[in-house]
Structure 1
């Protein structure tokens, strides 16, 4: 009998992954066996002697390879949140196997012929809207994955996709290795000048864990960001900045520049094989924005509206720095430091002041409580649900009527085996089969400051909004209610997926909610009016600069993915040209942004990074309805749940948006909210 827990029926609460039983050595055999089973599922469809129908072809394909999907989602989520050398080695081995399996499906002519037969007769099949959408998506998906290619083109497509799966994995591994490799070890207390006590305590604890004297600072955000904001020692700020901004671009074994060239050239070649001029044109066909021209027009329109504000923001900081004694030109490693000082002078406020009022446990209660108030859902921690690390918490999520909605995992602290940043993912998506609504397993992964011996984990206001953002994605997953997994939750256009996350951030700038959440970790005192007023008054501080910074990332992404001929030459020269019109500082030799731009080279945001700003337009416009009706208005929330959160990808995003909002969005609400109106 096979004892591999990944290949057994999960008998845990809500059929969650049995993390307490899964060992690293189980993954590779599980992949191999579930790949065999998945291929059998496909063969059954291909070899069927029955006339192709929606049920025996399209629906059968939708359900094929479920065990493989489960194994892959568990494995690749662990590779992001709790990896090690062995897991990374398995990832390198199985990624090409999975790409080959995927290619064998979409390049199977008999299978495509069966789908095409159903597709061509769709008007006479009496399909409902979701069935028709699944059929259309299936047909289009095959087309977009090379089903119409023949001969050498078909084989070349296979080779390209296999190579890309390896390269994107390798890119991410290099960024993680580079982030982990650097440590600033300080032994002289004078070098800590300017740093808040909580940051020094965390650094001292890290040094203790590594059995060293003094203090250790790393490139993980909870360490790096406050160091750049508060450290008086300019030389050390520069050292930290140079380490961060040169990750994966130093010409060593972890250098990503050659990998970037290979990735963008292969993406271009693949797009051309499929009949597109470039990768962006291929990607954007399935996005709200539709074309590279429309995306570039959107980015440039926003840039034109915000660049003067951004230049003024930088000029204000440069002027302040000069008055404060900076004799040199303001450099990138100076900006956060003097910007924070200017903010303190202007608003009598620093981000660090907010931390005592946002202990993580209270913020968790506040964020879950917001979901309860808006949607009536409740969260009960269940310690019987196995977790993949002892710091992870698991909750059962119940709907207003008490029925089971979802499992939610929360994972908050940086670890050596965990990628930086914050994200939402799933270990299983919602769908309906045989009359049963299979509920999702949702996970939120963040990198917040750890508790110390003196204090619990304390969040800045900015980290509170990060939590809200990821929780918004989580609600999109938890409240999903579609027939098919392919349409469920966050399975929507990439430039729509950020709407549910970004709209939730708005509550983080509402006094009424902040005073429900903010309680001093020692005294229990509610966050004072005065401090909330300062948070809100400073919300648009440097918004011009921050807008242009985001636009620079979007323009960089679009430049890489609108090349029309294979890229040759210098990665840093290319990106400098792409980002030139957003540039607000002198160039720094030895640094490069793209080699650590994991969103587009190791994640799913290639030709899609603009989506963050695109979704800001949507979320500002959508939240204006909550502002109009009341930020806790249940009817508005119910409409948002019904028209956006539960619908997933069952309809075109603009149709869903208009059903909620009653109109298409404009830039006006975003510009007004950001204070970028003259």
Structure 2
């Protein structure tokens, strides 16, 4: 039988035929696709024609289509619905793919052709996008080590292969720890838990095959438990298991992996002539230098820490009023912060949560996209990789724009967190193709599924990434959608979160799960009024993680990352009752691959822009101002990485922003 991954997909809009694909298809399909891709590379280098943009750079853009058809479905399934066979395939594929792309980036004949086109660029009459693609292609080869020779070239290949193995193992270890631990709750262990948290605990038990409610390490289950459980002993037990992920000893311990990863990154950077990995990594970002990142984080850290320390004093007093002696601990913060929120804002999450139904929030995110960009969403009945997944045909003025897939529920086979990816990116060369975009989240199941306000923000955040992919309008896939600087990629996603805060959006879509009634205006005002509540806590846990990431990479790699982490936090004056959002053994952003390594700061860098960008809507005709929406699509969402990020933002806003709007938006400045 023909391997479905290598066949022409006769499916609606060319979606992968998940109903025909088996795990046994991936390995032979990958081997075939790798050989095909290498044949396309050989054809480029063996041509007798002089190097040109068309026969070299565009030919590179067109190469590898079959490989994308194999890897798109595989990585979607491996990340969101893993199983032992897929995990084994990942471990096998990682070094194989690293070696494959290392061979291409080290291909001297190929690099010489790219370099020849680069040297002749001023005489080629290229479009702005073509000039950008040429620059990025040439720079990518140089930064990958194409100019290295001899022992240095060989060592670079070895480092890349080893880093690929380590990144995969880090992710799988974390998934294993998250999947294997749970705490069974007896009848007396549910004290304080509201109905939605009880329902989530029962659903988690069903998913694990346990007869009764449990607490798992899924954020959507454990955070409500830490917020509401009156059992301090159980909160401590659950919290310690949560922060111990990846650091439990044995085969799933990530600490040695982190140390080796940091050492190899430093060596990689030094082979390319950089003093350390942060200098190498940040060169291509908007920030450019570690000092620029450090300044941003420091400017935010001090006011955030001051607010957190003030809040800690109040929460500690509340705890002592309960007759609990000793220090406020990390497993106490969320519990007392939730009680304080109820006191300060007369806001109880158990009262709020029934108004945030998953289906209604999906509708809200779609409706905002319709009002802003004229998009329509029609359900698609197509086979997908899991029964939880849903798909929509996205159109504008009756024309197909994209396929959007949502995979929203937590399960043991899915890694933690939330993310957006394109199984197929938008492009016009070598032929027109529309994107297939997926949002993956980890919300607790329920009937109906209810979200916290933070969960709803996550849904809007990931859909902002999806819009960046779906509204892309460029020629070349390498600069399509979210293929932008890492500290710019979060701008569209974080900006889209603001529409959840628009009163008219909540008034229409925040309807009660049982009564169907809209959220009362008094409650809506409380929700919006409390939007910056506990911002000292959330800012401190984030900035601490970002600073540790930066310091790990800006200097010599630490032999003991955990000791270095503790040293950095001590120097910062980390409040006792707050932990890093992602401690080193769980820091998948940084250690599962290079994506956010030395770049976790980028969420805050982008937040500086998103606060300023949304202010431009408010200064104009309001959240749905048509001219501002048109400018956002024209200058940012449609452009992908076809122009420099700073240039795109200035085209949209007229200037670059300062940190003031961010501090004000977080309630950390007047």
Pairwise same-fold verdict (TM > 0.5): yes
SS at match of 1:438: coil
Deviation of the 1:386 alpha carbon: 2.2
The Cα of 1:213 is off from its aligned counterpart by: 4.2
Aligned length in residues: 666
Q: Deviation at 1:74?
A: 1.5
- Hey, what's the Cα distance between the residues in 2 that align with 1:444 and 1:134? 27
> Cα 1:525–1:378, aligned 2, differ >3 Å: closer, same or farther?
same
Mapped pair 1:594 → 2:584: yes
User: Which SS does the other structure have where 2:8 is aligned?
Assistant: coil
**CA apart distance, 1:228:** 0.5
Assess if the C-alpha contact under 8 Å between 2:391 and 2:404 holds in 1.
yes
Shift of residue 351, structure 1, vs aligned partner: 2.3
Shift of 1:97: 1.2
Residues 2-151 of structure 1: pairs in structure 2 closer than 5 A: 3-151=2-150
Shift in Å at residue 323 of structure 1? Answer: 2.2
Deviation of the 1:586 alpha carbon:
6.0
SS in 2 for 1:497: helix
Instruction: Find the partner of 2:518 among 502, 519, 526.
Output: 526
* 1:93-492 equivalent positions in 2, closer than 5 A: 93-187=92-186, 189-208=187-206, 210=208, 212-383=210-381, 385-399=382-396, 401-433=397-429, 436-451=431-446, 455-492=447-484
Name the CA distance, whole Å, in 2 between partners of 1:357 and 1:424.
Answer: 25
TM-score of the pair, normalised by structure 2 = 0.97
Say if 1:546 and 1:582 are closer, same or farther in 2 by CA, change over 3 A: farther
Per-residue deviation at 1:320? 2.1
Q: Deviations over 1:544-590 (max 9, x none)?
A: 222121110100101111132x4323x322111122215111699xx
**SS at structure 1 position matched to 2:409:** coil
> How far did 1:433 drift?
2.2
| Equivalence for 1:613 | 604
If the length of structure 1 is used for normalisation, what is the TM-score?
0.96
User: Residues 602 and 208 from structure 1, CA distance in 2 versus in 1: closer, same or farther, beyond 3 angstroms?
Assistant: closer
1:338 & 1:358 partners in 2: Cα distance? Answer: 23
Cα distance between partner residues in 2 of 1:386 and 1:592: 35
Residue 579 of structure 1 aligns with which residue? 569
SS in 2 for 1:21: coil
Q: 1:473 to 1:582 in 2, by over 3 A?
A: farther
**SS across alignment from 2:388:** coil
User: What is the CA distance between 1:144 and its match in structure 2?
Assistant: 0.2
Aligned mates of 2:640, 2:166 — CA distance in 1: 30
Matched, 1:651 2:643: yes
Distance in 1 of aligned mates of 2:589 and 2:207 = 31
Q: Which residue of 1 aligns with 2:653?
A: 661
Per-residue deviation at 1:312? 1.1
Q: Does the 8 A contact of 1:548 with 1:582 survive in 2? A: no
C-alpha displacement of 1:207 = 3.2
SS at match of 1:80: helix
The yes-or-no answer on 1:540 pairing with 2:542 is no
C-alpha RMSD over aligned residues: 1.5
Contact 1:249 1:592 in 2 (8 A): no
User: Deviations 1:14-69 (Å, cap 9, x if unpaired)?
Assistant: 11100010100000000000111001000000111111111001110111111112
User: Would you say the 8 A contact 2:632–2:652 is kept in 1?
Assistant: yes
Deviates more, 1:116-125 or 1:537-546: 537-546
Assess if the C-alpha contact under 8 Å between 1:480 and 1:645 holds in 2.
yes
Report the Cα distance in structure 1 between the residues aligned to 2:442 and 2:148, rounded to whole angstroms.
44
Distance in 2 (CA, whole Å) between partners of 1:473 and 1:208 is: 32
What is the CA-CA distance between 1:519 and the residue it aligns to?
0.8
Q: Take 2:248 and 2:657, find their aligned partners in 1: how far apart are those partners? A: 44
Residue 300 of structure 1 and its aligned partner are, at CA, apart by 1.0
Alpha carbons of structure 1 residues 181 and 211: separation in structure 2 relative to 1, 3 Å:
closer
Q: CA deviation at 1:209?
A: 5.3
SS in 1 for 2:359: helix
Give, in whole Å, the separation in 2 of the partners of 1:238 and 1:298: 34
* Cα distance in 2, alignment partners of residues 143 and 161 from structure 1: 15
Greater Cα shift, 554-563 or 29-38: 554-563
Q: Distance in 1 between matches of 2:140 and 2:559?
A: 31
| Stretch of structure 1 that moved more, 622-631 or 320-329 | 320-329
Cα distance in 1, alignment partners of residues 205 and 281 from structure 2: 45
Q: Is the Cα contact below 8 Å between 1:411 and 1:446 reproduced in 2?
A: yes
Q: Secondary structure at the match of 2:489?
A: coil
Q: What are the ranges of 5 or more consecutive residues in structure 2 without an aligned counterpart? A: none
Identify the range of structure 1 (576-585 vs 385-394) with the bigger mean alpha-carbon deviation. Answer: 576-585
TM-aligned CA distance change 1:192 to 1:652, over 3 Å:
same
CA offset at residue 360 of structure 1? 1.4
Measure, in 2, the Cα distance between the counterparts of 1:329 and 1:17.
54
Which residue among 627, 636, 651 is the counterpart of 2:618?
627
CA contact (8 A) 1:549 1:582 kept: no
Contact 1:427 1:440 in 2 (8 A): yes
> Does the 8 Å contact 2:361/2:456 carry over to 1?
yes
